[in-house]
A = this chain, B = another copy of it.
């Protein structure tokens, strides 16, 4: 299994380079557990979902604590057939999910969101979960939407995506659960996510 993300941070300020540099500092604690490579469009992070989602969450939360409007785009991927197996990406949650029903996985997802840390930063996200290479992909999507609606972070359904709002801790835990517990455990699953904080449209 190969698990990772392409992450881009977009601060809506002329001082954007400084905000990005401060955000990237939040990744320091994760550098031993993730492979992190930055080019001029995005930062690749490869590793297990525990440090991966924590790192993405902390990157965005650090930037959202500053006063400026900031957004982020993330492409998460697991199990892409074109990528090599990577032992650093091994994940107990995925291994267990192979023997769990959709109902069990919904329940475990809710427990995980309830146990998420409170970061004290309110954020908005919208995201799409894609289950690839499976004929009955919409069953897993509808199961995931059921979970999202009861997660406590659900804001609304939109065309092509779902909108969440809440503390960065609960919101990113909700996305991690969607990524890990829906779609076949050994299959190819991706997420297309945008996050937003301090938007003037909400003031």
**Chain A residues within CB distance 8 Å of chain B:** 4-6, 8, 10-17, 39-42, 44, 46, 68-69, 71, 73, 75, 77, 80-83, 124, 126, 128, 130-138, 141, 158-161, 163, 188, 190, 192, 194, 196, 199-202
- Which of B12, B83, B188, B199 is A159 in contact with, Cβ under 8 Å? B83
Chain B residues, Cβ within 8 Å of A42? 126, 158, 194
Q: Pull 15 A–B residue pairs with CB atoms less than 8 Å apart, ordered by A.
A: A4-B159, A6-B160, A12-B12, A14-B15, A16-B69, A17-B200, A39-B201, A40-B124, A40-B202, A41-B163, A132-B132, A133-B135, A133-B137, A160-B190, A192-B192
Chain B residues, Cβ within 8 Å of A83? 159
Chain B residues, Cβ within 8 Å of A12? 10-14, 16
CA distance A41 to B163 in the complex (A): 9
Do A194 and B11 touch across chains, with their CB atoms under 8 A apart? no
**Which residue on chain B has the smallest CB distance to residue A137?**
B133
Shortest CB-to-CB span from A97 to chain B, Å, is 20
Chain B residues, Cβ within 8 Å of A201? 39-40
